[in-house]
A and B are shown apart, each in its own frame.
Chain A
Amino acid sequence: GQNIDQPTEMTATEGAIVQINCTYQTSGFNGLFWYQQHAGEAPTFLSYNVLDGLEEKGRFSSFLSRSKGYSYLLLKELQMKDSASYLCAAPLRAGSYQLTFGKGTKLSVIP
């Protein structure tokens, strides 16, 4: 199976930058996803990384290092609406396209 680790909770200040880390253990890597989930709502897609490096999409960026089994989501210019859980997801097992999700990082943005 897959073991995805991410911090349970983080708090950051409005306007600041926050980095949410994710580590995974898979050989035969098929890509890593980040999803955002506001309380009481469904997850929504943020990013997909299959190659090493940083992918930027507006205020959100996602980084991947396949050799280290490590990814992070970078949120810049934090806004109150960014308060949500951020879910890291990777293949369920080597060679699989079915996803397993981490338990999520609950981010609280404070004024």
Chain B
Amino acid sequence: NAGVTQTPKFQVLKTGQSMTLQCAQDMNHEYMSWYRQDPGMGLRLIHYSVGAGITDQGEVPNGYNVSRSTTEDFPLRLLSAAPSQTSVYFCASSYSTGKHEQYFGPGTRLTVT
């Protein structure tokens, strides 16, 4: 099992550019989520999905879109990047919501200039 994979590992964007952060898992997990981690702020939930076709907003959803067309993939889209979106982004998955540990991907370090 590859577990949770994320691409790219590093990315630099200019303000206003768009991009998609990829996340995939091969553990047949129903629950997937995206977090951002900033110094002094901890992990904050952006969006999550409890299954294919179902997504919902977390604590800090503004500026981000998600979709879940398959169980395996959960991409995060930045439509118009802003410097405030400079962060480390982690994707995570778990067998079901809440009571099961989340497995995190290696992260994507994004810089917006």
**Residues of A that sit less than 8 Å from B by CB:** 1, 30-31, 33, 41-45, 48, 50, 87, 89, 91-92, 97-104
Chain A contact residues: over half helix, strand or loop, or mixed? loop
Question: Which partner residue on chain A sits nearest B107 by CB separation?
Answer: A42
16 new A-B contacts, CB < 8 A, other than A33-B101, A41-B107, A42-B104, are A41-B106, A42-B90, A42-B107, A43-B90, A45-B101, A48-B101, A50-B99, A87-B42, A89-B43, A92-B59, A100-B44, A100-B59, A101-B35, A101-B42, A102-B42, A103-B42
Shortest CB distance B110–A (Å): 15
Question: Which partner residue on chain A sits nearest B50 by CB separation?
Answer: A97
**Residues of B that sit less than 8 Å from A by CB:** 33, 35, 40-45, 48, 58-59, 90, 97-99, 101-107
Interface pairs (23), CB distance under 8 Å: A1-B59, A30-B98, A30-B99, A31-B98, A33-B101, A42-B104, A42-B105, A42-B107, A43-B90, A43-B104, A45-B103, A48-B99, A48-B101, A87-B42, A89-B43, A91-B98, A98-B58, A98-B98, A100-B44, A101-B42, A102-B42, A103-B41, A104-B42
